Amino acid sequence: MRTLTWDPKQKVLRLIDQRALPAHLEFVECHHLAEVADAIRLMIVRGAPAIGVTAAFGMAIAGWNSSTDSPDALRSHLQIAADTLRKTRPTAVNLQWALTRMLAVLEAPGLTADKLRHRLEAEAVRMAEEDVAINHQMAEYGASLIEDGDTIIHHCNTGALAVVDWGTALGAIRLAFEQRKRVHVLVDETRPRLQGARLTAWELSQYGIPFEIITDGAAGYFLQRGDVQKVMFGADRVAANGDVANKIGTYMLALAAHTNGVPVVCVAPSSSVDLSLPDGSHIPIEERDPDEVLNLQYSGESVAPAGAKARNPAFDITPHGLVDAIVTERGISRQPFKHTLPQVLGKDPNSISRAG
């Protein structure tokens, strides 16, 4: 089942409502641009690749909902739509990547407004299909790093729910399992929204992959004991030097793994690699509503005392020195990433370094 599907007749985007999982499998239909923007901002849909493709369909919906017959007026409307979507989640570079690609469709000269609408829709559909193919290729590379008998700590959710279908880091684990490798997954809860305990555990149970949920703070215990052979996670943005922006808690996990000599593997599509940024200090970090932290409950009671305040960064930066491999659909990059990452992506490392 895909995270998102497009109805070409009704021009409607249908999303799995990830807020309802694992208790309920529910869907949300987006008929208007504002509904797509809310779906991204409120994390009805989440995961960098899924956010990017969702935004692409948001642009298609905006095009179909515009009543103008003027190509220039339509282009203006869609620039405004892109600005609306761009503001929803700042950290995931896939969002900007998708919007740039959709806006490029509008540059074709001599087309009627209706032709532009059809081309926007076709481009969004193409991006969705490409995402699935890219994830399968990433899984092939990622699974090659997993040995028979590995126990893997996995952070956040990087499965089919984070993309259109299949997944990034969890997609590699899934393929290794389907290759009959004996794998066991320790699933970080991933606080405060618990994407690991809610979403990754749900996906693993669907696939029949053995897993146990652990608190984020327990990861170091299992790494120190020698119980873990790999740490795997995805990325919302990767800088040119290999610094990784990912769900909050990734940095501490990578630190503990590095200290205990456990390989750290990031699996993300090339669209998540931002070679325009020399390092992670340039990546904007989204801070979300403190209520996501303060509203946590235990046995039906609020965890935090009344009047408490909280900070809620959604992501952190894992320095490249803590990462052993970055897997994309183009191949596997290893240290030094400032040279190998551009090479795998088909870029000249010298030109990237000069630009940085």
Which band of pLDDT confidence, cut at 50, 70 and 90, is reported for residue 134? very high
Which band of pLDDT confidence, cut at 50, 70 and 90, is reported for residue 301? very high
User: Pick the catalytic residue: 150, 216, 236, 324?
Assistant: 236
CATH classification of the domain holding 109: 1.20.120.420
Contact criterion met (CB below 8 Å) for 322 and 258: yes
CA–CA distance, 279 with 114 (Å, rounded to integer): 42
**Count: domains in the chain:** 2
Give the domain-ending residue among 105, 136, 167: 136
Does the pLDDT value for residue 83 go beyond 80?
A: yes
> 105 with 183, same domain?
no
pLDDT, position 4: 97
> 178 with 216, same domain?
yes
**Structure-block tokens of residue 302:** 């609020």
> 144 with 128, same domain?
no
Does the pLDDT value for residue 235 go beyond 80?
A: yes
The mean per-residue pLDDT over the stretch 263-276 comes to 96
CATH classification of the domain holding 214: 3.40.50.10470
Does the pLDDT value for residue 237 go beyond 80?
A: yes
């490029």: which residue's tokens?
104
> 156 with 131, same domain?
no
Give the domain-ending residue among 136, 155, 180: 136
> 98 with 189, same domain?
no
Whether residue 236 lies in the annotated active site? yes
Contacts by 111-116, CB closer than 8 A, 24 or more apart: 111/71, 112/69, 112/71, 113/66, 113/68, 113/69, 113/70, 113/71, 113/73, 113/74, 114/69, 116/63, 116/71, 116/74, 116/75
> 164 with 85, same domain?
no
What is the span of the domain harbouring residue 70?
A: 4-136
Q: Dihedral through CA 168, CA 172, CA 175, CA 180, nearest 10?
A: -160
pLDDT in tens, 91-132: 888 999 999 999 999 999 999 999 999 999 999 999 999 999
> 36 with 109, same domain?
yes
> 93 with 202, same domain?
no
Does the pLDDT value for residue 68 go beyond 60?
A: yes
DSSP symbol at 12: E
End-to-end CA distance of the chain: 41
CA–CA distance, 195 with 157 (Å, rounded to integer): 6
- pTM for the structure as a whole: 0.92
Give the domain-ending residue among 110, 136, 162: 136
The mean per-residue pLDDT over the stretch 23-32 comes to 97
> 172 with 296, same domain?
yes
CA–CA distance, 217 with 188 (Å, rounded to integer): 9
> 226 with 99, same domain?
no
> 158 with 271, same domain?
yes
> 49 with 196, same domain?
no
